[in-house]
Copies of this chain bind each other. A is one copy, B any other.
Amino acid sequence: MHYGDGLFETIRVRAGRPCQWRRHLERLNWGAGRLGMPLVDSDRLADESLAISQGLDDGVLKIILTRGSGGRGYRPPLAPAPRRILILYPLPQDPGATFESGVLVRYCRTPASLNPALAGIKHLNRLDSVLARREWDDPRIAEGLMLDPSGRLVGGTMSNLFLWDGERLLTPGVEGAGIAGTTRGLMIETARSRGVVCVETNIEPPDLKRAEGLFLTNAVAGVWPVRQLEDHAFDLGRLPWDLLAAVRQAARTSG
């Protein structure tokens, strides 16, 4: 496991149960397929996850799945014995209290790595996000936005980005960079099921200033409306609150 050769899932736990379990499991196995790792035993992992979450009212379950030990070089083992690591963490302070009031967001200088072979996958090569997250320590700033080397928006260091243009949702595609977030998937599906058009497309910084509103999604916080991006303030009243509240609620259920 010298080269970040593996996958992870960050899962909200509520009332002793992992939230949105099916989406996390599906993404994990989709990632395993993309990386050429054996699929996980779904029943076994579900049992382990439920067992470790039992009794926990609210928290975070992290699952790490590595290809397993190899030799010195890059050549992975021919018969890999993947390793599962399950870790419980307390809920970060106030992950949801900012739903009504919105969050403060900045841009990061560190670009997101561009690689179609890795894009979308929640793999363990996250040095770009680590360097981006190092760029600020002001606790009032909830998240930093990352661009790919061509200047296209990828998302936050730990979240996906949505733009509301007054009629439609727009979100960066995940073919070149970024992660196919579970809450991102839930947002896209919920929007479409309600007749809201949701487009995966290229977004650049000037598009954000022209937007009616922005919000971020991730599995721990759910939905973060963006109150301010650098020196640009948004009128939170223009966001499609019914949709945001529905997804926030659904993200906390077992799915």
Contacts and interface: CB of A to CB of B under 8 A. Distances in A.
A62 B2 CA distance: 11
A208 interface: no
Copies per complex of this chain: 2
A125 B123 CA distance: 10
Interface residues of A, number: 49
B2 A8 contact: yes
A180 interface: no
A35 to B, nearest CB: 7
A126 B137 CA distance: 28
A115 B130 contact: no
Contacts of A127: 3-5, 35, 118, 123-125
A130 B118 CA distance: 11
A128 interface: yes
B35 A74 contact: no
B72 A133 contact: no
